[in-house]
């Protein structure tokens, strides 16, 4: 049971009603011992009070969640945090090109004596009342998605061909994530969208970002941290205004850059590697460089950046 997380959310100011709801849910639903290891123990907390509230409320009402937003907005972090908060084992499905119905639900296999059913992640999640994270669901093939329909809607069942139809455990929830850029549109088919409560993932707020970085790097210089944060939003704005493509910009890059500085790289090199060079257009790189140059000196080293 993740009581740290509960405490964190209390401090964040999440309504008592919601947190009580979570406590009640936890008391009601036990976890099979075999899967206790699957309950995540996150080391990064998701920051964003409003998003937390909506997500908790939706899950308490028995909804499945679709987290939609630009890259590195903490979709996976939130999904994992939610599984931890609700104290459920977690199954992760990444929708790469080879994922088909059989992979999701299960396949036959020979166990040495006879042919048996070898359950897939969706089956396990559904039967054990876990949290299934359907990552990058918009990358899924339609055929793979079709099997999810009955799992996700009022029928709450999975039809395993050649076997029985099984019931989805009422504690189970599915949290899907999908990416869309500033210019991109959502391209998930309607049938599927209608089976989720959709949560638009915002870009992390300035205050939260400051806290996020300082939690990850407790010894970072406060003022310099503030400049990194401002840099992030300046680049974000540039991408939003379509002056640069959004490829270069994501929070992951910024956090990685800070990490590299801590490892000993200079600020200039670290930002180049983690942000600027992610764009292959030379002109765009210049624009990004100009923004960086107006915030962060090129030659700050570890001792300067991490001097609390």
Partner 1 sequence: MIKRHYSGEQRRALNMIWNAAGRYDFDPPFMAFFPNGRPDGYFNMMIGLVDKWLDTEKIEKFFESYDGARDRDEYDDLLWLGLENCLYEKEIGERPILKMLRAERGERFFKTQQTLSRQQMMLQSMLVYNQQETRWARATGRKPPVLGPREKKMAQALLFPGSLDVDGVISAMKDFLREFFRFDVEKEAARVHGPKEVKGAAAKLLGLVMKKETRRVDVLMVRTGTGTGDREGSVQLRHNIGEVHNSEKAEEDLSYIKACFGKSIYNGHDLRALENDLCKDNDEGCRLWFTKGEPDPASAGTKTAVETAAAAKKQYEKNLAYYKHQAGLVGSSIRRLSAQLDTIFSSFAQPLPETSKHGTLSPEKAYRLAVLDDPYVFTHPGDEVENDVSVDILLDASASRMNSQETISSQAYIIAKSLVKCHVPVEVLAFRSLRSYTVLQVLKEYKEEDCSGIFHYFAGGWNRDGLALKAAESQMEQNRHGRRILMILTDASPNDSTRMPPEQGSVFMREYEGAAAVEDTADAVKKIRADGVRVAAVFLGATTNLENVHIIYGKEFVRIQKIEQLAVAISNLLTMTLREMRN
Ligand X SMILES: Nc1ncnc2c1ncn2[C@@H]1O[C@H](COP(=O)(O)OP(=O)(O)OP(=O)(O)O)[C@@H](O)[C@H]1O
Binding site for ligand X (CB under 6 A): 44, 46-48, 71-77, 177, 179, 204, 208, 212, 251-252, 255
Residue 130 interacts, among ligand X, Mg ion, partner 1, none and using kind-specific CB cut-offs from 5 to 8 Å, with none
**At closest approach, how far in Å is the CB of 136 from Mg ion?**
7
Residue 44 interacts, among ligand X, Mg ion, partner 1, none and using kind-specific CB cut-offs from 5 to 8 Å, with ligand X
Residue 63 interacts, among ligand X, partner 1, Mg ion, none and using kind-specific CB cut-offs from 5 to 8 Å, with none
Q: Which residue number, 44 or 287, has a Cβ lying nearer to ligand X?
A: 44
Give the three-state DSSP class for 175: strand
Cα(47)–Cα(251) distance, integer angstroms? 13
Listing DSSP states for 76-105 in one string gives: HHHHHHHHHHHT--EEEEE--TT--HHHHH
Strand pairing class (65-69; 131-135): unpaired
- Beta bridge partners of residue 131, listed in sequence order: 90, 173
* 182 contacts 246 by C-beta, under 8 angstroms: yes
Strand pairing class (65-69; 197-200): parallel
Q: What is the DSSP letter of 168?
A: P
Nearest Cα to Cα of residue 50 among 186, 205, 165? 205
Residue 128 interacts, among partner 1, ligand X, Mg ion, none and using kind-specific CB cut-offs from 5 to 8 Å, with none
User: According to the binding rule CB under 8 A, does residue 238 interact with partner 1?
Assistant: yes
Cα(11)–Cα(29) distance, integer angstroms? 25
Q: Which residue number, 201 or 291, has a Cβ lying nearer to partner 1?
A: 291
Strand pairing class (173-179; 165-167): unpaired
Residue 297 interacts, among partner 1, ligand X, Mg ion, none and using kind-specific CB cut-offs from 5 to 8 Å, with partner 1
**At closest approach, how far in Å is the CB of 48 from ligand X?**
5
**At closest approach, how far in Å is the CB of 232 from partner 1?**
13
Interface with partner 1: number of residues (CB under 8 A): 18
**At closest approach, how far in Å is the CB of 181 from Mg ion?**
14
Angle between helices 16-28 and 75-86 in degrees, nearest 10: 60
Q: Residues 65-104 vs Mg ion: string with x where CB under 5 A?
A: ----------xx----------------------------
* Residue choice 19, 197, 205, 287 for contact with partner 1 (CB under 8 A): 287
Cα(87)–Cα(84) distance, integer angstroms? 5
- Beta bridge partners of residue 159, listed in sequence order: 165
Stretch that binds partner 1, among 79-87, 97-105, 138-146, 230-238 (CB under 8 A): 230-238
Interface residues with partner 1 (CB under 8 A)?
Answer: 223, 227, 230, 234, 237-238, 241, 243, 283, 286-287, 290-291, 293-297
């Amino acid at each position: 049971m993740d009581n740290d997380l509960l405490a964190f959310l209390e401090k964040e100011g999440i309504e008592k009603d919601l947190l009580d709801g979570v406590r009640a849910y936890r008391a009601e639903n036990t976890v099979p011992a075999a899967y206790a290891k699957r309950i995540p123990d996150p080391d990064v907390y998701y920051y964003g009070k409003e998003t937390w509230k909506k997500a908790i409320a939706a899950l308490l009402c028995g909804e499945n969640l679709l987290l939609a937003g630009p890259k590195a907005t903490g979709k996976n972090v939130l999904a994992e945090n939610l599984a931890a908060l609700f104290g459920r084992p977690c199954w992760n499905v990444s929708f790469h090109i080879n994922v088909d119905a059989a992979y999701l639900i299960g396949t036959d296999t020979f166990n040495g004596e006879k042919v048996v059913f070898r359950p897939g992640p969706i089956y396990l999640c559904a039967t054990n009342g876990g949290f299934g994270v359907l990552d990058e669901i918009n990358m899924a093939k339609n055929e793979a998605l079709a099997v999810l329909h009955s799992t996700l809607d009022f029928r709450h069942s999975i039809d395993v061909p050649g076997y029985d139809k099984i019931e989805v455990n009422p504690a189970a929830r599915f949290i899907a994530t999908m990416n869309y850029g500033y210019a991109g549109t959502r391209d998930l088919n309607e049938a599927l969208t209608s089976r989720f409560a959709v949560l638009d993932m915002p870009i992390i707020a300035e205050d939260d970002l400051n806290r996020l970085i300082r939690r990850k790097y407790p010894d970072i210089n406060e003022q310099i941290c503030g400049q990194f944060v401002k840099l992030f939003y300046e680049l974000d704005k540039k991408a939003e205004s379509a002056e640069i493509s959004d490829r270069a910009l994501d929070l992951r890059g910024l956090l990685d850059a800070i990490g590299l500085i801590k490892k000993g790289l200079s600020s200039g090199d670290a930002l180049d590697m983690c942000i600027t060079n992610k764009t292959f257009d030379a002109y765009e790189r210049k624009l990004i460089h100009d923004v960086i140059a107006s915030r962060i000196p090129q030659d700050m080293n570890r001792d300067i950046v991490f001097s609390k």
